[in-house]
Amino acid sequence: MAQDVLLALQLQRMDRQLVQLEAEIRGLPKKIAQLEAQMGAHQRRLEEDKAALLANQLEIKRLAGANEDHRLKIDKLKKQLMQSTNQEQLTAFNHEIKFCESEIVANEESSFKLLEEAERLSGVVKAAESNMDAERAAVEKQKEDAKILSEQDRKKGVRIYREREKLAKEIPPALLKDYERLRKKHKDGVVVAECTEGLCTSCQMNIRAALLQQIRQYPDKTFYCESCLRMLSFNPPRSVDGTIASTPLST
């Protein structure tokens, strides 16, 4: 392979590592923010369930109070009933007593339903509280891990960046210029495309037989894909023992 292509490949490897590290470093706070948002949503849901449970308990208390009032009223009405002097009064007191009794039954039915719901809600709240503790601990651990990873990535990035700077100073300026031009042009960061089995593996276009022949004939020269204009690194098919297999030159 041409020396220029080898050097360009080295630069490409470093640049791609730097891009990857940068993406990882940038992605970490996003991941943490997502986890925190998820935890916030769980916390809000827990607060809602707690509020529903409290409202439920207050309603049970209110119904019990109302029934207590109804019972006192019934006692009072019964006393008045005993003292009633005519049929009209009797009917009216009886009617009121019946009304209070039906209210007591209705309130007791409502209370029963509310108690069932309270039982369910308190189970949900209890489980959610325990889950929240575990979730909070997990998020804290992830944050700590992310901090460590981010620092490791940063250090690795600095090391690669220095190596890259050193290499950039050592390689021929014309090659560096060419490399940078191609890197700018190809957003995927692939400046050197592999040429395998008569194809440019980056743009998937066939390489003309004549060009392929030249590539094979002049391994020290730098060639470019005529379609995507990337540098080509020639990668002939190899047999199992690692030697280059003799394949026809045509594509």
Instruction: For residue 199, state whether it binds Zn ion (rule: CB under 5 A).
Output: no
Nearer to Zn ion, 97 or 200 (CB): 200
CA–CA distance, 88 with 74 (Å, rounded to integer)? 18
CA distances 52 to 38, 43, 119, 226, Å, are: 21, 14, 12, 70
Q: Which helix (H) or strand (E) holds 101?
A: helix 87-170
Residue closer to Zn ion by CB (options 43, 227) is: 227
Token pair recorded at residue 50: 């707690």
Minimum CB separation of residue 17 from Zn ion in Å reads: 23
Half-sphere exposure of 41 (CA within 13 A, CB side): 6
**Which of 182, 192, 200, 212 touches Zn ion by CB under 5 A?**
200
Q: Determine the Cα–Cα distance for residues 118 and 55; give it in Å rounded to an integer.
A: 10
Size (the chain), residues: 251
**By CB under 5 A, is residue 225 in contact with Zn ion?**
yes
Please report whether residue 227 would count as binding Zn ion according to CB under 5 A. Answer: yes
Nearer to Zn ion, 107 or 202 (CB): 202
Structure tokens at 101: 């009794």
Select the span of 66-74, 84-92, 133-141, 200-208 touching Zn ion (CB under 5 A). Answer: 200-208
3-state secondary structure of 198: coil
* Smallest gap from residue 199 Cβ to Zn ion (A): 8
Interaction of residue 201 with Zn ion, rule CB under 5 A: no
Note whether 228 binds Zn ion by CB under 5 A: yes
Residues that bind Zn ion (CB under 5 A): 200, 202-203, 225, 227-228
